[in-house]
Amino acid sequence: MILDLLRHASTGRHGYLDGRTDPPLLDDALDPVCRRHSGIGWARVISSPRRRALDTATALVAGSDLFCEIHPDWAELDFGDWDGRHFDAIPAEQLAGFYDEPHAVVPPNGESWAAFAARIEAQLQRLLDEDADEHAHAGPVLVVSHAGVLRFALSRICGMPLAATWAVRIDYGTRLRLRMERGDDGQLWGELLELRQP
- Concatenate the DSSP letters of all residues of 94-121 into one string: HHHHHHH-TTT---TTS--HHHHHHHHH
Q: Which residue positions in the chain have pLDDT lower than 70? A: 134-137
**Structure confidence at residue 68 (pLDDT):** 95
* Secondary structure percentages of the chain, helix, strand, coil, to 5: 40, 20, 40
**Structure confidence at residue 26 (pLDDT):** 98
Contact 161, 102 (CB under 8 A): no
**Structure confidence at residue 100 (pLDDT):** 83
What's the pTM value of the predicted model, to 2 decimals?
0.95
**Structure confidence at residue 168 (pLDDT):** 94
Q: Tell me: the pLDDT tens digits for 102-124?
A: 888 899 999 999 999 999 999 99
Cα–Cα separations (whole angstroms), residue 177 to 7, 17, 94, 193, 197: 12, 25, 33, 5, 12
**Structure confidence at residue 125 (pLDDT):** 96
Contact 142, 4 (CB under 8 A): yes
The C-alpha atoms of residue 198 and residue 191 are separated, in whole angstroms, by: 21
**Structure confidence at residue 77 (pLDDT):** 97
